Amino acid sequence: MANAANEVTDKSNSDNELIYTYNRELFYHFDKEKGFTQKVEYQNPNNQVIIKQSWDAAEQRLDEVKQKVIIGKSSPVAYYMEKILMEVPMLAAYMEISSWRVKRHLKSRVFKKLKPETLQKYAGIFGITVEELVKPEFMR
């Protein structure tokens, strides 16, 4: 047990750098001699790797959707949804329409026929203008 704990600190000092240093949080620790202690510190480097993994995965998903939009398979709604890390049920909740309708709007063919009001509402949720929604930056 003690060895494993030592290894943890050694590793974190030698080859792991802190990625996120915006805010220090309170963490608890346990040691047989000292009992339970609290310490305000940055999230440890190993866990920061895990947090980064999730952002990297999101970036990769965004890239995949982008390609699909470029070849005209998906609509820009699919791209911007991924960009603000949403999934269909959540976007449907913000749009106040049912999930299956949002799912249809992800198709380029259906997207082209959307009413201006619907586009406006999507743009509002994504925090962009209607022009940006209809023609994303990477399509120009």
Partner 1 sequence: MVKLEFEHRQAGHCESGVTRNLLNYHHFSISEPMAFGIGAGLFFSYLPFLKMQHAPTTSFRVWPGQVFDRATKELGVKTAIHTFRNPKDSMDKLNEVLEQGYPVGLQVGTFHLPFFPPEYRMHYNMHNMIVYGHDNGNYFISDTLMENLVEINYEDLMRVRYAKGAFAPQGRMYYPTHVPTGIDIKPAIIKGIRKTANNMVGIPFPLVGAKGIRYLAGRMRKWEKKLGPAKASYYLGQVLRMEEEVGTAGAGFRFIYGAFLEEASTVLNRPWLKELSIEMGENANKWREFSYLGSRNCKKRGKPDQSYDFLADILLEVADREEKIFKKLATIK
Q: Rounded CA gap, 132 and 139, in Å?
A: 10
Q: Does residue 46 contact residue 10 with C-beta atoms inside 8 Å?
A: no
Question: Which of 112, 74, 114 minimizes the C-alpha distance to 97?
Answer: 114
Tokens (6 digits) for 38? 């609290």
Among 8, 18, 70, 139, contact with partner 1 (rule: CB under 8 A): 8
Instruction: Show the beta-strand stretches assigned E in the chain.
Output: 25-31, 35-41
- Mapped onto helix, strand or coil, the DSSP state of residue 22 is coil
Among 14, 23, 72, 115, contact with partner 1 (rule: CB under 8 A): 23
Torsion sign across C-alpha atoms 36, 41, 46, 48: positive
Q: Which is nearer to partner 1, 94 or 118 (CB)?
A: 94
Among 6, 10, 18, 53, contact with partner 1 (rule: CB under 8 A): 53
User: Per CB under 8 A, which region of 66-74, 78-86, 114-122, 128-136 contacts partner 1?
Assistant: 78-86
Q: Rounded to the nearest whole angstrom, what is the least distance from the CB of residue 112 to partner 1 in the complex? A: 27
Q: Does residue 105 contact residue 75 with C-beta atoms inside 8 Å?
A: yes
Q: Rounded CA gap, 50 and 14, in Å?
A: 18
Among 62, 90, 130, 134, contact with partner 1 (rule: CB under 8 A): 90
Task: Tell which positions 100-139 bind partner 1, by CB under 8 A.
Answer: none
Among 13, 14, 22, 115, contact with partner 1 (rule: CB under 8 A): 22
Q: How many residues bind partner 1 (CB under 8 A)?
A: 44
Interface ranges with partner 1 (CB under 8 A): 1, 4-5, 8, 11, 19-20, 22-32, 35-36, 38, 40, 43, 46-55, 57-58, 61, 84-87, 89-90, 93-94
